[in-house]
Amino acid sequence: MQVTFLGQAGLYVETDHGSILCDPWFNTAFFASWFPFPSNEDVDLDAISHPDYLYVSHLHHDHFDPDFLGEQVDKRAIVLLPDYPMNHLEQELRALGFTRFVKTRNSEPVELDGLRIMIMALVAPTDGPIGDSGLAVDDGTTKLFNQNDSRPIDLEPLRAFGHFDAHFLQFSGAIWYPMVYDFPERMKQNLGHRKRQNEMARAKRYAEELGASFVFPSAGPPCFLDPDLFGFNDIDRDPANTFPDQTVFLELLADSGMDNGRLLIPGSVAAVTPGSCRVEHPGDDAVDAIFSDKLSYLRAYQQRQLPEIARRKASWPRHQIDIVSSLKAWWEPLLAQADRTCAGVNGRVLLDATDPVEGEQVVIDFLDRRVDLWKGEPCRYTFRIDRALVEACIARHDEDWVNELFLSCRFEASRDGPFNEYVYNWFKVLSPERLQYAEGWYAELGAAEELVPMDGYLVQRRCPHLKADLAQFGVVEDGVLTCRMHGWQFDLATGRCLTSDDRRLHSVKADEATDGVG
């Protein structure tokens, strides 16, 4: 098996039974804030553009690069699709022209003409853009696990897949915390230090647990080339910086007695067989040119990319949208359905859309479930964001503001009290479908499942498909319950799903229910 590293989480895997292109990312992401580090400008794109298979682990834009996929990749590629509850990834890829899909089931191996693959799908609201995944590949001789950003909680399916020869995984931060917060500097340093250590410790733990023959740091860190953000780069191995590079993690592994870590840079080729790994870099001094004077390397990279950053910034809309009224019309109907989210936030969030001429301050009130012009009410969280970015999210009707705006790190935040997961999850579920899914998820985390009466039956409240609230979305006719969210149907007497073969509805005749039910 031969693996060409493409930068960030990008891999081009070649085997005797076909090639797999994984997470190719070549265009700046998140409002031109993230760039692949090291640069992958010199990767031979033609050589990777006609894969047999395409795997996009999830929709974050450092993994899903629609411009590259749309313009460069042969649409005959067969897409290896993770088992996500909502099919946004499939929809996006279909919109780009891909038509051939292998729909995997979570943690179940699939045979594909000599290749055996398995995708571990993670589907909590906190997993990436509601859905993150890792790919295991077995070509009959060599086994690889491309974990990238995902954090599998059950390693048994991976162990059952067999011993891995190669393990690719994320080891650095990929988030805005704590840099964007207005914490006192000393506190920020401490939090950053802890985060840096925790990220690498978790990656090391995964590497130890899986015990692959060779470990390859991948999936980050990005670099920040906009002068506004350049300070986020880890130039001098600052122990409080959350973006340590590959060399730092490999040293950590070596210091712990793990000498099986291998460095790859974009264009490096790793030939992996059971018990051996030979790495060829794209030039004799290619590694040195990046890491021996990282600041000079990044400054030169920055010079090449400044025109692209300027071009992107010029395209952001400004003063074209009334932010308060747009968000009110969009979000208030969602707030009305967001019982658990509202209870979880239990406060207000201020979106301070700043602008040198005219900003707008919007309060999202999770107590009264309204969106309005801010009148000075106390707020639990405050986000200060250039109004152009807020307008861009509104103009595109982004249903997930994390996957562009928050990951851009182009904002400042303050909060009154501890971290609240519900606040960020709210910004990922800005459609009825996504919201219902998150609400259902929270509901299932709660106590015993709630039952609701329907047509003489007590029925589980959350739809087995994507967890819509059946008290709101369910209708019964002739003993068949239809969920109006996506139209799935269930036979009330048996619980059998009439739409899909792998879900069941829990239902019991109301007059047979006992005190133990509900």
Q: Which stretch binds ligand FES (CB under 6 A): 97-105, 324-332, 461-469, 500-508?
A: 461-469
Q: Which stretch binds ligand FES (CB under 6 A): 171-179, 305-313, 331-339, 478-486?
A: 478-486
Least distance in Å: CB of 69 to ligand FES?
27
- Say if CB 131 and CB 122 are below 8 A apart: yes
How many CB atoms lie under 10 A from the CB of residue 92? 16
320: amino acid identity, one letter: Q
Nearer to ligand FES, 220 or 474 (CB): 474
Nearer to ligand FES, 80 or 492 (CB): 492
Q: Which stretch binds ligand FES (CB under 6 A): 108-116, 373-381, 395-403, 483-491?
A: 483-491
Contacting residue, 485, 490, 492, 505, with ligand FES by CB under 6 A: 485
Cis bond upstream, residue 221 (ω within 30): yes
Contacting residue, 281, 312, 384, 486, with ligand FES by CB under 6 A: 486
Nearer to ligand FES, 390 or 485 (CB): 485
DSSP secondary structure of 433-465: HHHHHHHHHHHHHSSSPPEEEETTEEEESB-TT
Nearer to ligand FES, 262 or 434 (CB): 434
Nearer to ligand FES, 90 or 251 (CB): 90
Using CA atoms, how far residue 252 sits from 15, 18, 201, 386, in Å, is: 31, 35, 9, 38
SS3 assignment, position 36: coil
Least distance in Å: CB of 96 to ligand FES?
24
How many CB atoms lie under 10 A from the CB of residue 384? 17
Least distance in Å: CB of 507 to ligand FES?
14
Cis bond upstream, residue 239 (ω within 30): no
475-481 long-range contacts, CB within 8 A, separation 24+:
479/455, 481/454, 481/455, 481/505, 481/507
Angle at which helices 246-255 and 185-210 cross, to 10°: 60
Does residue 435 bind ligand FES (CB under 6 A)?
Answer: no
Contacting residue, 80, 463, 481, 492, with ligand FES by CB under 6 A: 463
Does residue 441 bind ligand FES (CB under 6 A)?
Answer: no
Cis bond upstream, residue 178 (ω within 30): yes
Element (H or E) spanning 166, and its range? strand 166-169
Distance of CA 377 to the CA centre of its chain: 33
Contacting residue, 465, 490, 495, 505, with ligand FES by CB under 6 A: 465
Alpha helices by DSSP H, 337-413? 339-345, 387-395
Q: For ligand FES, how many residues bind (rule: CB under 6 A)?
A: 9
- Say if CB 466 and CB 454 are below 8 A apart: no
493: amino acid identity, one letter: A
Least distance in Å: CB of 463 to ligand FES?
3
Does residue 88 bind ligand FES (CB under 6 A)?
Answer: no
Least distance in Å: CB of 468 to ligand FES?
4
Least distance in Å: CB of 436 to ligand FES?
6
Q: Which stretch binds ligand FES (CB under 6 A): 212-220, 343-351, 354-362, 459-467?
A: 459-467
Contacts of 95 (CB under 8 A, 6+ apart): none
SS3 assignment, position 185: helix
Does residue 483 bind ligand FES (CB under 6 A)?
Answer: yes
Contacting residue, 272, 371, 389, 468, with ligand FES by CB under 6 A: 468
Does residue 466 bind ligand FES (CB under 6 A)?
Answer: yes
Nearer to ligand FES, 14 or 439 (CB): 439
Q: Which residues of the chain form contacts with ligand FES (CB under 6 A)? A: 463, 465-466, 468, 483, 485-488
